[in-house]
């Protein structure tokens, strides 16, 4: 598929689950517009996810499109143990007991493994389940048990998370289970890895060390879903080249919900300022779990995130367990296409990314994007091995297509997350002249420029050890 055939710039992340884990379902998601598949390691076994990886690769091969795979670590979150039948209904007005004893969960009694739960709660405290849809009020704590009243009912399932706003939950940033999933991700060739419940920049280090120990180089993404992370957002953003995910489900429980839109806007601004990719996630089209059309408010929500500069918008339950997974992707695609013409590209060129006088790579990327306006360039072609040059160019949000060309399949897959970046796999060039000439021909072959058009080529020459340090103008033959 030529680059020109996929002119949407905002990327779409679709979560794989029971509704979408067959090869045929994944093919339909790709054809609807999905760019990245998210594998939620909080649900499913290693065997399940190994099958998901193999099926996703097969679906990509059959559609002729490379798809990025994003592994999402469970993180240090309190989770329910198994419930009978996998799902139970909690009715408003009834009582339910939370216990640290290992029992099969029912509507009367739910188990979780943290022994500190009763000591962390007191009568009157709130406990949230199911991304905040279910609210419990603590009535009494005694021994291993916490007696609660169900104030807002609903369905809960095995291994669903609990939120205790304001309670101190001393869990490690990356526990044994998370590090085992990191090993799995390295073995399976996962392209991106999201770290859940990051609280400070130091929380990222154990995962990065584990990746390096496995001989891999998977970029990590910090999920911002705790108040501590929102307060330390800038240090976290600087620490993760893979970017951030604005995980609004837990963020909207841990913070007053009315603050979430402002925090989201600030996080997306910081990601742009430091040239980091960003994903906006959770309940974007939540009504489409059971309905074929979203609400108007949901459409506005997706559009607002795009206008605020997000690289990608994410579907969670909508594609994992929803009744209309492919249609949810198609709706995202239509919203993005309708919103993108109104993006403030001109302002973003000068104001989106911070200026650093000593940053050669950032200055070259800014100059390349600026030249698309002053010289009327039809496209920017970006040869890259690591993907860094493409990330810097994308951060400045040019109006014209960005075509990243790499000999590394890993890089091609990871770049599916970046706003405005399309990718081409290409064998390594023998010399600089071959590279430049081939990029000009490639722009024509990919349909982003026609014969006689001017294009820009920007790259990093490794011998100079300056990162992105080359920018040339070429006329397409």
Strands of 199-306, DSSP E: 220-224, 244-247, 278-281
DSSP secondary structure string, 407-471?
Answer: S-HHHHHHGGGSTTEEEEE-PPPSSHHHHHHHHHHHHHHTTSS-TT-EEEEEE--GGG-SSS-EE
pLDDT value of position 463: 58
Q: How far apart are CA 393 and CA 416, in angstroms?
A: 14
pTM: predicted TM-score of the whole model, two decimal places: 0.90
From 162, 43, 166, 168, select the one nearest 99 (Cα to Cα): 162
Q: Which of 20-29, 179-188, 191-200, 435-444 has the lowest mean pLDDT?
A: 435-444
Using CB atoms within 10 Å of the CB of residue 73, give its burial: 0 to 12 exposed, 13 to 18 middle, 19+ buried. Answer: buried
Q: Look up the CATH superfamily of 84-163.
A: PK beta-barrel domain-like (2.40.33.10)
The span from the first CA to the last CA of the chain, in angstroms, equals 21
Strands of 207-323, DSSP E: 220-224, 244-247, 278-281, 312-315
* Residue 169 reports pLDDT greater than 80: no
From 279, 280, 283, select the one nearest 297 (Cα to Cα): 283
Distances (CA, A) of 277 to 121, 394, 440: 37, 9, 27
Would you say 69 and 417 are in contact if contact means Cβ atoms under 8 Å apart?
A: no
Share of the chain above pLDDT 90, in %: 76
Cα 85–chain centre separation: 31
Q: How far apart are CA 216 and CA 184, in angstroms?
A: 11
Q: How far apart are CA 402 and CA 369, in angstroms?
A: 10
Every domain of the chain and the residues it spans: 3-75+173-340, 84-163, 346-475
Q: How far apart are CA 325 and CA 311, in angstroms?
A: 21
pLDDT value of position 1: 53
Would you say 455 and 383 are in contact if contact means Cβ atoms under 8 Å apart?
A: no
Would you say 424 and 404 are in contact if contact means Cβ atoms under 8 Å apart?
A: yes
Rounded to 5°, the CA angle 248-250-254 comes to 110
List residues with catalytic annotation: 38, 79, 223, 282
Using CB atoms within 10 Å of the CB of residue 272, give its burial: 0 to 12 exposed, 13 to 18 middle, 19+ buried. Answer: buried
Q: How far apart are CA 8 and CA 459, in angstroms?
A: 24
Using CB atoms within 10 Å of the CB of residue 47, give its burial: 0 to 12 exposed, 13 to 18 middle, 19+ buried. Answer: exposed
Cα 7–chain centre separation: 20
* Residue 266 reports pLDDT greater than 70: yes
pLDDT digits (tens, 9 = 90+) for 436-461: 888 888 999 999 999 999 999 998 77
pLDDT value of position 86: 86
- Please report which confidence band the pLDDT of residue 317 belongs to, taking 50, 70 and 90 as the band edges: very high
pLDDT value of position 99: 95
Helix axes 388-395, 360-374, angle to 10 degrees: 50
Q: Tell me the pLDDT of the chain averaged across its residues.
A: 92
pLDDT digits (tens, 9 = 90+) for 77-114: 788 989 998 889 999 999 999 999 999 999 999 999 78
Please give the structure tokens belonging to residue 143. 């021994």
The Cβ-side half-sphere exposure at 407, using a 13 Å CA radius, reads 6
pLDDT digits (tens, 9 = 90+) for 175-187: 888 999 999 999 9
Cβ count near 166 (within 10 Å): 9
* Residue 46 reports pLDDT greater than 60: yes
From 439, 424, 448, select the one nearest 64 (Cα to Cα): 424
pLDDT digits (tens, 9 = 90+) for 323-371: 999 999 999 999 999 999 999 999 999 899 998 767 888 889 999 999 9
Domain 346-475: CATH class, spelled out: alpha beta
Q: How far apart are CA 106 and CA 99, in angstroms?
A: 11
* 3-75+173-340 maps to CATH 3.40.920.10: no
- Please report which confidence band the pLDDT of residue 2 belongs to, taking 50, 70 and 90 as the band edges: low
Distances (CA, A) of 425 to 373, 394, 399, 442: 28, 18, 23, 11
């Amino acid at each position: 598929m030529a680059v020109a055939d996929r002119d949407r710039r905002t990327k779409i992340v679709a979560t794989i689950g029971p509704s979408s884990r067959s090869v045929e379902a994944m093919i339909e998601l790709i054809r609807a517009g999905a760019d990245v598949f998210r594998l939620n390691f909080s649900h499913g076994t290693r065997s399940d996810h190994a099958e998901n990886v193999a099926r996703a690769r097969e679906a990509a091969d059959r559609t002729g499109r490379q798809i990025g795979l994003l592994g999402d670590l469970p993180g240090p979150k309190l989770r329910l143990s198994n419930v009978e039948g996998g799902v139970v209904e909690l009715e408003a007005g009834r009582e339910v007991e939370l216990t640290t004893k290992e029992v099969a969960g029912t509507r009367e009694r739910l188990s979780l493994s943290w022994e500190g739960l009763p000591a962390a709660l007191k009568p009157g405290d709130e406990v949230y389940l199911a991304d905040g849809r279910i609210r419990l009020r603590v009535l009494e704590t005694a021994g291993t048990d916490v007696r609660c009243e169900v104030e807002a009912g609903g369905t809960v399932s095995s291994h669903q998370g609990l939120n205790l706003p304001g309670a101190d939950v001393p869990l490690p940033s990356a526990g044994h289970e998370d590090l085992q999933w990191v090993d799995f991700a390295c073995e399976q060739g996962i392209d991106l890895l999201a770290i859940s419940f990051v609280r400070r920049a130091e929380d990222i280090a154990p995962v990065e060390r584990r990746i390096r120990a496995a001989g891999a180089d998977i970029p990590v993404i910090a999920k911002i879903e705790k108040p501590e992370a929102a307060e330390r957002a800038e240090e976290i953003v600087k620490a993760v080249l893979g970017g951030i995910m604005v995980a609004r489900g837990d963020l909207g429980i841990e913070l007053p919900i009315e603050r979430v839109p402002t925090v989201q806007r600030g996080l997306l601004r910081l990601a742009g300022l430091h040239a980091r990719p960003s994903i906006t996630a959770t309940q974007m089209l939540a009504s489409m779990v059971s309905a074929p059309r979203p609400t108007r408010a949901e459409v506005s929500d997706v559009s607002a995130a795009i206008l605020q500069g997000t690289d990608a918008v994410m579907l969670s339950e909508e594609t994992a367990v929803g009744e209309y997974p492919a249609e949810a992707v198609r709706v995202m695609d239509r919203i993005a296409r309708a919103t993108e013409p109104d993006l403030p590209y001109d302002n973003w060129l000068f104001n989106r990314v911070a200026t650093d006088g000593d940053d050669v790579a950032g200055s070259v990327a800014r100059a390349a994007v600026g030249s698309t306006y002053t010289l009327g360039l039809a496209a920017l072609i970006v040869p890259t091995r690591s993907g860094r040059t493409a990330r810097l160019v994308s951060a400045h949000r040019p109006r014209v297509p960005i075509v990243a060309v790499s000999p590394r399949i890993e890089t091609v897959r990871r770049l599916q997350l970046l706003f405005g970046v399309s990718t081409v796999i290409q064998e390594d060039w023998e010399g600089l002249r071959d590279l430049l000439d081939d990029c000009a021909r490639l722009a024509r072959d990919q349909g982003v420029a026609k014969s006689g058009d001017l294009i820009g080529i920007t790259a990093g020459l490794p011998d100079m050890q300056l990162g992105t340090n080359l920018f040339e103008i070429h006329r397409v033959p």
